[in-house]
Protein backbone atom coordinates (compact mmCIF):
# COMPACT_ATOMS: atom_id res chain seq x y z
CA UNK A 1 0.00 0.00 0.00
CA UNK A 2 1.28 3.45 -0.86
CA UNK A 3 0.78 6.34 1.56
CA UNK A 4 1.01 10.06 0.95
CA UNK A 5 4.08 11.78 2.39
CA UNK A 6 2.01 13.50 5.10
CA UNK A 7 -1.19 12.52 6.93
CA UNK A 8 -3.33 14.55 9.34
CA UNK A 9 -4.12 12.90 12.65
CA UNK A 10 -6.85 13.61 15.19
CA UNK A 11 -7.78 12.05 18.51
CA UNK A 12 -10.55 12.95 20.95
CA UNK A 13 -8.23 12.19 23.88
CA UNK A 14 -6.22 15.23 22.75
CA UNK A 15 -8.99 17.64 21.69
CA UNK A 16 -6.73 20.64 20.96
CA UNK A 17 -3.87 18.73 19.34
CA UNK A 18 -3.29 18.64 15.60
CA UNK A 19 -0.98 15.84 14.48
CA UNK A 20 0.86 15.60 11.18
CA UNK A 21 2.44 12.22 10.39
CA UNK A 22 5.43 12.09 8.05
CA UNK A 23 5.36 8.62 6.47
CA UNK A 24 8.73 8.63 4.70
CA UNK A 25 12.19 8.26 6.22
CA UNK A 26 12.76 9.69 8.73
CA UNK A 27 9.24 9.00 9.96
CA UNK A 28 7.87 11.27 12.68
CA UNK A 29 4.72 12.72 14.20
CA UNK A 30 4.53 16.40 15.05
CA UNK A 31 1.92 17.92 17.31
CA UNK A 32 1.33 21.38 15.83
CA UNK A 33 -0.29 22.56 19.05
CA UNK A 34 3.08 22.62 20.83
CA UNK A 35 5.59 21.62 18.10
CA UNK A 36 6.55 18.40 19.91
CA UNK A 37 8.12 15.87 17.55
CA UNK A 38 8.18 12.12 18.10
CA UNK A 39 10.65 10.34 15.83
CA UNK A 40 9.59 6.84 14.77
CA UNK A 41 13.11 5.84 13.79
CA UNK A 42 16.27 4.94 15.68
CA UNK A 43 19.28 7.06 14.73
CA UNK A 44 22.99 6.46 15.05
CA UNK A 45 25.27 9.25 16.27
CA UNK A 46 26.35 9.82 12.66
CA UNK A 47 22.73 10.16 11.55
CA UNK A 48 21.90 12.65 14.30
CA UNK A 49 23.98 15.45 12.76
CA UNK A 50 22.30 15.02 9.37
CA UNK A 51 18.91 14.77 11.07
CA UNK A 52 19.44 18.04 12.92
CA UNK A 53 20.11 19.76 9.62
CA UNK A 54 17.10 18.18 7.89
CA UNK A 55 14.64 18.37 10.82
CA UNK A 56 13.94 22.06 10.36
CA UNK A 57 13.06 21.53 6.67
CA UNK A 58 10.85 18.52 7.44
CA UNK A 59 8.95 20.35 10.17
CA UNK A 60 8.45 23.37 7.90
CA UNK A 61 7.13 21.02 5.18
CA UNK A 62 4.72 19.39 7.68
CA UNK A 63 3.42 22.81 8.72
CA UNK A 64 3.02 23.88 5.09
CA UNK A 65 1.11 20.65 4.39
CA UNK A 66 -1.28 21.41 7.27
CA UNK A 67 -1.79 25.01 6.09
CA UNK A 68 -2.54 23.77 2.57
CA UNK A 69 -5.04 21.19 3.79
CA UNK A 70 -6.86 23.70 6.02
CA UNK A 71 -7.05 26.23 3.19
CA UNK A 72 -8.74 23.60 0.99
CA UNK A 73 -11.46 23.12 3.61
CA UNK A 74 -12.05 26.88 3.80
CA UNK A 75 -12.72 27.23 0.05
CA atoms in the 13 A half-sphere facing the CB of 25: 4
d(CA 37, CA 55): 10
Helix (H, G, I), strand (E, B) or coil at 26: coil
Contact 3, 48 (CB under 8 A): no
Sorted by where each begins, the domain ranges of the chain are 6-74
The predicted structure's pLDDT at residue 4:
97
pTM of structure: 0.87
Q: What is the pLDDT of residues 3-62, one digit of tens each?
A: 999 999 999 999 999 999 999 989 999 999 999 999 999 888 888 878 887 888 999 999
Q: How much is the pLDDT for 73?
A: 87
Sign of the CA dihedral 58, 34, 71, 23? positive
* pLDDT exceeds 80 at position 75: no
Amino acid sequence: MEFPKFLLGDNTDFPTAIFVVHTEFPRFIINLENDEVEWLEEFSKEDEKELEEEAENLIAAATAFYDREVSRYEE
